[in-house]
Structure formats: structure tokens, C-alpha cells
Amino acid sequence: MEGKRRGALIVVEGCDRTGKSTQAKKLVDYLSKTGRYSILLHFPECSTRIGDIIHGYLNKYYNFDDRAVHLLFSANRWEFLPLIQSHIQKGVNVIIDRYAFSGVAFSAAKKGMNLQWCKNSDSGLPRPDLVLFLDLTPAQAEKRDGYGTERYEVEEFQDRVRENYLQLVDDNWMVIDASRSIEEVHKVLCAAVVKTVDSVDDNELETLWNKKTKRNYKMKIQKRGES
């Protein structure tokens, strides 16, 4: 990609019903309209054989051991690594709706699972340039349309998932109040993403959870009413 900067890797995360898919799609549309070519991926990606098994599990057609489920989700991300790398190298921005952080936060909320074990299978995947965490309490999410239709949409479980997410916050994260309107949240996300996309350099992406790298960070939170 001589003469071109690499693309940015942006991840949208959050508990269930926080608006991730809506916001990720709006981001890709906005970036593309402003000349910043971008694509959208989402995990789990159910178009593959692994993804099809995950889809069946989420819709309660199958049951597996929790560790096997976690490794299936992780394998689904790894099988798309070549595609992600290819787009990034060509200067295309990749926006992902749920990534490794989601896998870790959900799996570690289960009995007998912990954050470190859950990180291991995703260690080495590309570390995003920016993670946008849409924060909403499970009590707030429960009031949204469609809540409760999927396996993990139970308030007590979602509380544990949210706690795990907050333990994963790093210096490349921004925590956004997702209780605001779709357009208010979109405005905040666009500003953060444009700044990131326009400032990436030619350095290769780092990898997730590299044990040799220790980071100090402050959580960046967009409070209600801020922009």
C-alpha cells in the first residue's frame, strides 16, 4: 500500500440491546459518505460453518460446555483474521460490531470461567485503534424492544457481563452513555472515529493482550449531555 496509510480498526462493544449494530452501521455509512472508505463486520459471523453452529447455540437449538462455546466464538474471529488484515493493509477502515472483548466479557460471566482464561484464545488478534463501549445498565436495556429473546438476555447475567467489560477498559477505549438518543450517540461516535481514522500512521496494528506490554490508562467517559 505504498503511498497510502493503513486503514483503522474500530470496534463497537456493549452489553445486549445497547445499540451496537445500529451505531456500527451508521458509522460505516457516515465514513463512506465522507470519503473514508470503510467496511462493516460483526461477530459472531454466522455465514461460516462455525458461525452456523454458534447461531444454533444462541437460539437455543444446541447446548455445549461453556468452554467449548467460548472457543467456538474465538475460532469465528480467527477465521476472519486474513480478511481484516487485507482490508487494513489496503487502507480500508474496518468497523466491527462485537469483537474479542465481547467474547471475554460474556464467557467470564459464566460459573467457573475467568477473564484471564477467556483472554488466552484471542491473544494475538489485532488490537483495535479504538474501542467504543456503549454503556447501558441491564435495567435500562431491559426496557428496549426485543429484550429477552436471546440466550444471554437475563438481567443478572448482563450485570456480570457489564462488570467484566469495565475491567477490560484500556487506553484505546471510549465509554459512551448509550441511554441517549440514537442521533446523540452517533454524533459522539463520529467525532471520535474521524479523529482516529485521520490520525492512523503506517505502523502495524499491535496485538491483543500481549503480556510484554503494560499500559496505564484513564477511562474516557462521555456523560449525559456531553458531546
For the chain, which domains are there? 9-222 (3.40.50.300)
CB 129 within 8 A of CB 172: yes
> Has residue 183 got a pLDDT over 60?
yes
> Has residue 36 got a pLDDT over 60?
yes
Cell triple for 35: 470519503
Residue range 135-139: mean pLDDT, rounded: 77
Query: CA-to-CA distance for 29 and 224, rounded, in angstroms?
Result: 25
Band (pLDDT 50/70/90 cuts) for residue 47 is very high
Among the ranges 15-19, 156-160, 161-165, 207-211, which has the highest mean pLDDT value?
A: 161-165
What pLDDT is stored for residue 213 in this prediction?
A: 47
pTM of the entire structure?
A: 0.86
Band (pLDDT 50/70/90 cuts) for residue 226 is very low
Query: CA-to-CA distance for 19 and 14, rounded, in angstroms?
Result: 8
Residue range 37-56: mean pLDDT, rounded: 96
Residue range 200-219: mean pLDDT, rounded: 70
CB 105 within 8 A of CB 168: yes
Band (pLDDT 50/70/90 cuts) for residue 150 is low
* Sheet strands side by side (includes 93-97): 38-42, 93-97, 9-14, 130-135, 173-177, 221-222
- For 51-71, write each residue's pLDDT tens digit: 999 999 988 898 999 999 999
CB 198 within 8 A of CB 2: no
What pLDDT is stored for residue 181 in this prediction?
A: 93
CB 39 within 8 A of CB 87: yes
Tell me the pLDDT of the chain averaged across its residues: 87
What pLDDT is stored for residue 139 in this prediction?
A: 65
Torsion of CA 13, 16, 22, 27, to 10 degrees: 0
- For 73-121, write each residue's pLDDT tens digit: 999 999 999 999 999 999 999 999 999 999 999 999 999 999 999 999 9
